[in-house]
A and B are shown apart, each in its own frame.
Chain A
Amino acid sequence: MSILAFLIQTLRIATPYLFAASGGVLSERAGVIALTLEGWMLTGAFCAALGSFYSGSPWLGVLAGVGGGVLAAALHALATIRYRADQVVLGIAINLMSVGITRFFLRLAFDSSSNSPRVPGFDWAGATEGNTTAGLGSLLASFSNPLVLVALLSLPTVWWILYRTPYGLRLRAVGEKPEAAASVGVSVARVRWLAVLGAGAFAGMGGAYLALEQHQFTDSMTAGRGFIALAAVIFGQWEPKRVALACLLFAAAETFQIRLQGLQLLPSQFVEMIPYVLTIIAVAGIVGRSRQPAALGRVTE
């Protein structure tokens, strides 16, 4: 029972990581640094809340979230691919901008730059007023968002794209040696555009999960989850399978931290560090030297 609860909580916490990390793998394998995952997610979360609020349907909200992520990614692609801006600097700029822009439009829409009103989400019919669900029922109730299942399929999808489609082959070639890819007639810019837009869609869905799970948008609600996803991409050495494991590991560490804090054996400031210390140890020690896509971050013609 409690192991099952632990696993389900881990899956829920891992969901935004899995989505964002899928985008991260796609974008970075094509040679575009995915520092912007955080900003794409935040934009996605905001658009999802807005879409769900005005349409009344959480599925349209997810669609709007994906659209928001794609839009933010298009801006990134335009600047880095078309105008060859520095990917790191632009990444930071887009992250900062998305915090400001979501607050601005939140204020326009709802007269508060901090919180949206309650929006429709994926509600579980079993939990109604006064109906105290117990045991297995309460576990299922805490696991009612269909996006969790979609998240589990996201990295396998990326794996399939990378290794089982002609586009995936081109994408990997562009990320390793763009000049060679170009010499056999592959359009580097087009491959990268598609990869970045796809990454935005995944990250936007991660944001949509956060907003719809909460039935609300709160400013900066992604709270660094995009960066943790990026760490998972690096920790997983840009391999979809390993990245998926990394996401689950980070989520398990966070779940462990929540449970440990409940026991009150250690001060919360200390417990709070656990996932991050684990990240540092994992990235620095266990993985050893990681090899990134050769053309990552490089500006090419």
Chain B
Amino acid sequence: MRKLIVALVVLSVVHLALLFIEPAGATRIATGDGVDVGIVFDVGGRGDKSFNDGAFLGAERAMKELGARVRFIEPGEGSDREAGLRLLAAEGMDLVIGVGFIFSDDLTLLAKEYPGVKFAGVDYAVAMDANGKPVPPPDNLAALKFREEEGSFLVGALAALVGNSKKLGFVGGMDFPLIHKFEMGYRAGVQAVCPDCTVIAQYAGVTPDAFKNPGRGQELGLSQYQQGVNVIFHASGSTGLGVFEAARRLGKLAIGVDADQYAEAPGFILTSMVKGVDEAVFGAIRQVQDGTFRGGIFELGLKERGVNYIDDANNASLITGAARERVEALRAEIIAGRITVPSTK
């Protein structure tokens, strides 16, 4: 009995001591005089070198340029997502941002509960009513959506033009509509320049965990490359890092997603389909600061420069001049509305 008490005392002392440990870099109480912003990250978290890091970049810029005071929360398993948002809203932040489709329902709920706080949802999934009409989000909630299919269309065309193979690969994270947008756009882009090419599309799983299973990503990548695919486009969060590993190992090419992922496997990344997550996050913070923030659905496509593909000094040597011209012509056609890119299966 005495041992048990000693053990309990020791444990509680350790527990208390741990409360005072500050993780490296956790303190982000910027001294700026701007707005208070809270950001909750998605599955995959900071360091995924894509989606979440994009949001982080945008917030960092807002801290530097606007003096915004930003707090970050990286949730663990399912249930503490809503708790993270609620905590920030209850603390009276000026703006609370949920990064990822997974926050859609929670944001809608909290926006109604805290009408004084402004909310923004990156990749917010707009709910449909019984008649299939979209339900508009509350006035204090901005739904920041991207037309990923348009950017995916361009990288699909590029992959088919420089891939040197009639087979193209796609690795998705979770098999659900948001990622289907990437796949359908990619397929359409491939078909646009090479009607007899086929796309092998595979998904890492059917739950959100499929976005953080690099082991599975690597196996999917290796098996596609061995079937004669030369270029794989991934839309799978941390799982995609496994696809890059496969490309590196076999000397093939992969296409990154959300942010410029060239640095993950230099020389093996053909390009990246980038989403302006940083721009969207920065924009939302600036609007709150200026007082121009308004709720509603904002869709960012090629025209709004919300999506794009990377073509810079790093990867220019992988893209031929003819391919570049063709892809840019396609971009113009999409912006002009002459090509409509499919987004659903």
Measuring CB to CB, which residues of chain A are less than 8 angstroms from any residue of chain B?
Answer: 2, 5, 9, 12-13, 16, 99-100, 103-104, 107-118, 124, 127-133, 138-139, 141-142, 144, 210, 213-216, 218-221, 223, 255, 258-259, 261-262, 264, 268-269, 272
**Stretch in contact with the other chain, from B202-210, B254-262, B301-309:** B202-210
- Docked-complex contact B76 and A216, CB < 8 angstroms: no
CB pair A139 B226 closer than 8 Å = yes
Give the residue of B201, B215, B218, B224 whose beta carbon is less than 8 angstroms from that of A264: B201
**23 A-B pairs whose Cβ atoms sit less than 8 Å apart in the complex:** A13-B219, A103-B76, A104-B23, A107-B24, A111-B46, A112-B46, A114-B44, A114-B52, A115-B47, A117-B47, A129-B267, A130-B251, A133-B251, A142-B226, A210-B215, A213-B218, A216-B214, A218-B238, A223-B213, A223-B215, A255-B219, A261-B203, A262-B200
Contact B251 A215 (CB under 8 A): no
A258 to B205, CA, bound (A): 11
- Hey, which chain A residues are within 8 Å of B147, CB to CB? none
- Is the CB of B185 closer than 8 A to any CB of chain A? no
By a CB distance below 8 angstroms, the chain A residues around B264 are 118
A contact residues around B222 at 8 Å (CB): 9, 142
B86 at the interface (CB under 8 A from A): no
In the complex formed, the residue of B with least CB distance to A16 is B215
Known: A108-B23, A111-B24, A138-B226. A218 touches B212 (CB 8 A): yes
Nearest chain B CB to A76's CB is how many angstroms away? 16
| Contact (Cβ within 8 A) B238 A115 | yes
A213 to B215, CA, bound (A): 8
Stretch at the interface among B88-96, B241-249, B275-283, B286-294: B241-249
Q: Tell me the B224-247 residues at the A interface (CB within 8 Å).
A: 224-227, 230, 238, 241-242, 245-246
CB neighbors of A among B17-71 (8 A) = 21, 23-26, 41, 44-49, 52
Q: Who on chain B is nearest to A100 by CB?
A: B76
- Complex Cα distance, B250 from A128, in Å, reads 8
CB distance from A225 to the nearest CB of B (A): 8
Q: How far is the CA of A112 from the CA of B245 in the complex (A)?
A: 21
Nearest-neighbour CB distance to chain A for B103, whole angstroms, equals 16
In the complex, chain A residues whose CB is within 8 Å of the CB of B41: 114
From the candidates B26, B220, B238, name the one contacting A258 in the complex (CB within 8 A). Answer: B220
Measured in the bound complex, the distance between the Cα atoms of B264 and A198 in whole Å is: 36
User: Please, which residue of chain A has its CB at the minimum distance from the CB of B248?
Assistant: A127
Q: Are B267 and A115 closer than 8 Å at their CB atoms?
A: no
* Contact in complex: A268, B206 (CB < 8 Å): yes
Q: How far is the CA of A5 from the CA of B224 in the complex (A)?
A: 11
Q: Contact at A114–B238, with CB atoms within 8 Å?
A: yes
Nearest residue (CB) in B for A220 is: B212
Alpha-carbon distance A103/B47, docked complex (angstroms): 12
Contact of A127 with B45 at beta-carbon distance under 8 Å, contacts A268-B203, A268-B206 already known:
no
Residues of chain A within 8 A of B230, CB atoms compared: 132
Q: List chain B residues, Cβ under 8 A from A268.
A: 175, 202-203, 206
Q: How far is the CA of A13 from the CA of B209 in the complex (A)?
A: 18
Tell me whether A218 and B251 are in contact in the complex, defined as CB-CB below 8 angstroms, given that A111-B25, A115-B48 are known contacts.
no
Contact of A142 among B46, B74, B249 (CB under 8 A): B249
Q: Is the CB of B252 within 8 A of A132?
A: yes
Instruction: Please name the residue on chain B nearest to A139 by beta carbon.
Output: B226
Alpha-carbon distance between A127 and B265 when the two chains are bound, in angstroms = 12
Q: Which residue of A lies closest to B200 (CB)?
A: A262
Which B residues lie within 8 Å of A124 (CB)? Answer: 249
B216 part of interface (Cβ distance < 8 Å): yes
- CB neighbours (8 Å) of B340 from chain A are none
A129 to B249 CA separation, bound complex (whole angstroms): 10
Give chain B residues whose Cβ lies under 8 Å from the Cβ of A133: 250-251
- What residues on B are CB-neighbors of A220 within 8 Å? 209, 212
Residues B71-97 near A (CB distance < 8 A): 74, 76-77
Q: Is B268 an interface residue (CB 8 A)?
A: yes
Considering only CB atoms, which chain B residue lies closest to A138 in the complex?
Answer: B250
Interface membership of B223, Cβ < 8 A: yes
CB distance B206 to A131 under 8 Å? no
* Contact A219 to B45, CB < 8 A, known contacts A127-B248, A132-B251, A258-B219: yes
Cβ contacts under 8 Å, A259 to chain B: 223
Taking a contact as CB atoms under 8 Å apart, the answer to whether A129 and B175 are in contact is no
Report B-chain residues with C-beta under 8 Å of the C-beta of A262: 200, 202, 223-224, 227
Q: Which residue of A lies closest to B268 (CB)?
A: A129
Docked-complex contact A214 and B242, CB < 8 angstroms:
yes
Contact B76 A131 (CB under 8 A): no
B residues less than 8 Å from A130 (CB atoms): 251, 267
Q: Cβ of A128 and Cβ of B44 under 8 Å apart?
A: no
Determine if B251 and A272 form an interchain contact, defined as CB atoms under 8 angstroms apart: no
Q: Can you name the residue of chain A whose Cβ is closest to the Cβ of B174?
A: A268
Q: Contact: B214 with A221, CB < 8 Å? A: yes
A112-B47, A220-B212, A272-B205 are known; give 20 further A-B pairs, CB within 8 A. Answer: A9-B219, A111-B26, A112-B46, A114-B47, A114-B212, A115-B48, A117-B47, A118-B264, A127-B251, A129-B268, A132-B252, A133-B251, A138-B250, A141-B251, A142-B222, A142-B246, A210-B215, A214-B241, A223-B216, A262-B202
Residue of A nearest to B227 (CB): A262
State the CA gap A223–B200 with chains docked (Å).
24
How many Å lie between the Cα of A108 and that of B22 in the bound state?
Answer: 8
Interface centre among B48, B206, B249, B264 (most CB of A within 10 A): B249
Rounded to whole angstroms, the CA-CA distance of A61 and B258 in the bound complex is: 31
Contacts of B74 in A (CB 8 A): 107, 112-114
